[in-house]
């Protein structure tokens, strides 16, 4: 399988860099003369940048693309994200062609793509911009295309559907949005994490609402016809103690097993911790595992 995260460096879908990227250049692992330096990816006076892990990170050699949310700064106290809730939020892309040393910012909304929408926004939608109508995916997506990128977007963390866009030109243009099914749930909160298992075969790692309608049940969805239809959900865990759990990131081990890491808690108001579910695509986990 080709991963959207760390094992295969050609297509990355789930890592985050926030406002700056840390780069490591070393002749050998652990070398004493290793050089670590930090590079600003997006930093504008009076602005806020965040959540690249939700949007996706992809690489084609030294060309790197990352998505993120951009809003306006407002001090909301020590326990909140400092983004102005009453000003527009944008979903932008940052592109590097030199392995992350320098970056340029792109706004896909200029082409009518990746336009923010839904109650999951921390700001508000920009006036005059409207997301294109969602479509049913016709299938036939070539997930193995060498310039492929996929991004998954939610509308709400608890209730409601999610959608996806894909690109076959390294994120210069995007097809979509295509609606994802609800898989019989109240809501699906999609963040970008996926594994490619062939030209028409792809696994998405998502978070669904629990039976009480609140966020907190990580699961996997699979298509084998290029995104036209999706198999029944594969539940990774359904016993989370409350909301705001999940955020899965996934790789596949050399033995074929899938490793999905996410954060979790057992009881309401309890401490969150990091947990991994290790499973085989031919023997998916069941509820309460």
H/E stretch holding 222:
strand 215-223
Query: Nearest 5°: phi and psi at 58?
Result: -135, 155
Which two three-digit tokens encode residue 126? Answer: 């920009």
Task: Collapse the DSSP code of 108 into the 3-class scheme (helix H, G, I; strand E, B; otherwise coil) and give the result.
Answer: helix
- pLDDT for 273-284, tens place per residue? 888 889 888 776
Q: Output the pLDDT for position 242.
A: 61
- Alpha-carbon separation of residue 43 from 183, 263, 281 (angstroms): 39, 28, 41
Per-residue pLDDT, 1? 61
**Predicted local confidence at residue 57, as pLDDT:** 95
Asked if the model's pLDDT at residue 14 lies above 50, the reply is no
pTM of the model: 0.83
Please compute the mean of the pLDDT values over residues 247-274 and round it to a whole number: 83
The tally of CA atoms less than 13 A away on the side-chain side of residue 257 is 8
Long-range (24+ apart) CB contacts under 8 A made by 80-85 are 81/48, 81/50, 81/122, 82/48, 83/48, 83/50, 83/122, 83/123, 84/48, 84/123, 85/122, 85/123, 85/124
- pLDDT band at residue 18, thresholds of 50, 70 and 90? very low
Choices 1.10.10, 2.60.40, 1.20.120, 2.115.10: CATH for 2-132+143-279:
2.115.10
Instruction: Check whether 234 has a pLDDT greater than 60.
Output: yes
pLDDT digits (tens, 9 = 90+) for 127-186: 999 999 999 999 999 999 999 999 999 998 888 999 999 999 999 999 999 999 999 888
Q: DSSP for 38-83, please give it.
A: EEESS--TTEEEE-HHHH-EEEETTEEEEEEEEEEB----TTS--B
- Give the integer Cα–Cα distance in Å for 127 and 248: 32
Q: Which residues are within 8 A (CB) of 79 and not within 5 positions of it... i.e. 6 or more apart? A: none
**What residues does each domain of the chain span?**
2-132+143-279
Instruction: Tell me the Cα Rg of the chain.
Output: 19
Q: What is the pLDDT of residues 111-144, one digit of tens each?
A: 999 999 998 988 999 999 999 999 999 999 999 9
């Amino acid at each position: 399988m080709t991963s959207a995260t760390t094992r295969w460096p050609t297509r990355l879908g789930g890592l985050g860099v926030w406002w700056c990227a840390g780069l490591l250049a070393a002749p050998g692992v652990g070398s004493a003369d290793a050089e670590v330096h930090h590079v600003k990816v997006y930093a504008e006076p009076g602005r806020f940048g965040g959540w690249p892990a939700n949007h996706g990170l992809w690489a084609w050699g030294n060309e790197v693309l990352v998505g993120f949310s951009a809003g306006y700064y407002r001090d909301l106290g020590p326990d909140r994200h400092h983004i102005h809730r009453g000003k527009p939020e944008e979903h932008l892309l940052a592109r590097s062609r030199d392995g992350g040393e320098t970056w340029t910012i792109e706004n896909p909304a200029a082409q009518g793509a990746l336009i923010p929408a839904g109650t999951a926004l921390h700001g508000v939608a920009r006036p005059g911009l409207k997301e294109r109508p969602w479509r049913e995916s016709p299938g036939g997506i070539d997930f193995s295309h060498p310039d492929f990128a996929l991004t998954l977007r939610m509308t709400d963390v608890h209730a409601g559907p999610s959608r996806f866009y894909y690109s076959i030109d390294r994120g210069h243009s995007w097809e979509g949005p295509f609606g994802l099914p609800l898989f019989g749930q109240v809501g699906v909160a999609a963040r970008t994490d996926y594994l490619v298992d062939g030209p028409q075969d792809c696994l998405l790692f998502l978070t669904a609402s629990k039976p009480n309608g609140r966020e907190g049940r990580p699961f996997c969805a699979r298509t084998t016809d290029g995104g036209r239809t999706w198999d029944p959900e594969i539940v990774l865990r359904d016993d989370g103690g409350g909301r705001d759990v999940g955020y899965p990131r996934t790789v596949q081990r050399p033995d074929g097993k899938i490793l999905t890491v996410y954060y979790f808690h057992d009881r309401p108001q309890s401490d969150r911790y990091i947990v991994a579910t290790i499973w085989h695509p031919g023997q998916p986990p069941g509820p309460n595992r």
